[in-house]
Amino acid sequence: MARVTIESLRKEYDTGSVVAVDDLSLEIDDGEFITVVGPSGCGKTTTLRMLAGLERPTAGTIQIGDDDVTNVHAKNRDVAMVFQNYALYPHKTVFENMEFGLRMSTEMVEDEREQRVVEAAEMMGIGDLLEDKPDELSGGQKQRVALGRAIVREPDLFLFDEPLSNLDASLRTEMRAEIQRIQNELGITAVYVTHDQEEAMTMGDRMVILNHGVLQQTGPPTEVYENPVNQFVAGFVGSPSMNFVDVDVRRDGDRIQLLGPDGRFQFDLSATYADQHAASLTADRYTLGIRPENVSVASGAADNTIEGTVEVVEPVGSDNYLHIDIAPEFIARVESTVSPEPGEQVRLTFSESDLHLFDSE
């Protein structure tokens, strides 16, 4: 079991022309499950490969438990990695695939190796597949073997690089739960990389959001969802994505108004809000963020409404997504009983407590 400490980690490729990871510092608690999420190319795999010892950092340090492992070779780290493509040996049986790492890295006697493999196979529900070869298995079964192979080693640290991206949606949901169960049962520290924010939200005790190799925010999923620190995080976490509208600030004595594009809406901030945010409300222009699920269609008189025209009504089961012509992308997520016609004018409202203001880009 181990706590992991990453300090000022940096990785350059091609003699510095690519900075894949930039000054990353992170503490991962013993037994914690963290998800690392961000768009393609943001440095997730590079970070994992440095943790695994497969890539040497340009600068910074990595500590696992009490040991500084920054320059320790992969085979001398007590780390197991699970990949998207399973990476199974095609000519070995499931048993041999799972046993292989133990043969290579320990002096364990055969009986104990066998016992560990059988136990891990039972845990993964593949006890009856031990004599099969990988090409006889389904994608889900292969991924179970890959997980089983990681488990038998009883590593200090589990690393996952988008392990479920090759599976179809229902199997992915099943395997998410399975991975969480195993991690819980074994209490192993885990770092799970994904480009899928929903996966990161549902699986992690804590999520780490990267963009262009730079740490944007880290925190429990609900905290990140409720208090995104910048527009990138706000737009990346949550689905459909947060709506953004540029607003001008008008001050009139103590009163603060936010004015939307083309005079189509005005939002009066309450005195309490203005007071609480006085220190940060100093600019003349912001990007207002509001989540689709926090927008509703006003019926009757209401303050602070936005006028808009419905462009598309997209039904998604119990809800409708109303695409509104206010911003390039503006969606209101409403109950399916609220179903205006395309072309219809609607007035939208949202409450001040759901509003986010970001520095204009």
CA distance 310 to 344: 6
**With respect to ligand ADP, which residue has the nearer C-beta, 45 or 183?**
45
Stretch that binds Mg ion, among 30-38, 43-51, 83-91, 183-191 (CB under 5 A): 43-51
Burial class (CB in 10 A: 0-12, 13-18, 19+), 48: buried
Task: Please report how close the Cβ of residue 195 comes to ligand ADP at its closest, in angstroms.
Answer: 7
Q: Tokens 């133990």 label which residue?
A: 102
Task: Please report how close the Cβ of residue 149 comes to ligand ADP at its closest, in angstroms.
Answer: 22
**With respect to ligand ADP, which residue has the nearer C-beta, 45 or 305?**
45
Side-chain half-sphere exposure of 103, counting CA atoms within 13 A: 9
Give the DSSP letter of residue 91: T
Task: Please report how close the Cβ of residue 21 comes to Mg ion at its closest, in angstroms.
Answer: 12
**Beta bridge partners of residue 81, listed in sequence order:** 159
Among ligand ADP, Mg ion, none, residue 97 binds (CB under 5-8 Å by kind): none
Told to check if 45 binds Mg ion by CB under 5 A, we report yes
**With respect to Mg ion, which residue has the nearer C-beta, 44 or 206?**
44
Among ligand ADP, Mg ion, none, residue 89 binds (CB under 5-8 Å by kind): none
Task: Please report how close the Cβ of residue 163 comes to Mg ion at its closest, in angstroms.
Answer: 11
CA distance 122 to 148: 9
Pairing status of strand 243-252 against strand 255-259: antiparallel
* Cβ neighbours, 10 Å, residue 322: 26
Q: Tokens 């799970």 label which residue?
A: 192
Task: Please report how close the Cβ of residue 175 comes to ligand ADP at its closest, in angstroms.
Answer: 20
Among Mg ion, ligand ADP, none, residue 288 binds (CB under 5-8 Å by kind): none
**With respect to ligand ADP, which residue has the nearer C-beta, 43 or 238?**
43
**With respect to ligand ADP, which residue has the nearer C-beta, 36 or 64?**
36
Among ligand ADP, Mg ion, none, residue 42 binds (CB under 5-8 Å by kind): ligand ADP
Residue-wise over 78-90: b if at least 16 C-beta within 10 A, else e? bbbbbbbebebee
Task: Please report how close the Cβ of residue 252 comes to Mg ion at its closest, in angstroms.
Answer: 51
**With respect to Mg ion, which residue has the nearer C-beta, 45 or 243?**
45
Q: Which residues form the interface with ligand ADP (CB under 6 A)? A: 13-14, 18, 20, 38, 40-46
Give the DSSP letter of residue 341: P
Task: Please report how close the Cβ of residue 287 comes to ligand ADP at its closest, in angstroms.
Answer: 25
**With respect to Mg ion, which residue has the nearer C-beta, 37 or 152?**
37
Size of the site for Mg ion (CB under 5 A): 2
* Cβ neighbours, 10 Å, residue 184: 12
Among Mg ion, ligand ADP, none, residue 43 binds (CB under 5-8 Å by kind): ligand ADP
Task: Please report how close the Cβ of residue 45 comes to Mg ion at its closest, in angstroms.
Answer: 3
Among ligand ADP, Mg ion, none, residue 40 binds (CB under 5-8 Å by kind): ligand ADP
**With respect to Mg ion, which residue has the nearer C-beta, 41 or 65?**
41
Strands (E), the chain: 4-13, 18-28, 33-37, 59-64, 67-68, 79-83, 157-161, 189-194, 206-211, 214-219, 243-252, 255-259, 266-269, 285-290, 296-297, 306-316, 319-324, 331-335, 345-349, 356-359
Task: Please report how close the Cβ of residue 56 comes to ligand ADP at its closest, in angstroms.
Answer: 12
Q: Are 68 and 77 in contact (CB under 8 A)?
A: no
Told to check if 46 binds Mg ion by CB under 5 A, we report no
**With respect to ligand ADP, which residue has the nearer C-beta, 214 or 338?**
214
Which positions ≥6 away from 183 have C-beta within 8 Å? 33, 158, 190
**Beta bridge partners of residue 64, listed in sequence order:** 4, 67
Q: Which residues bind Mg ion (CB under 5 A)?
A: 44-45
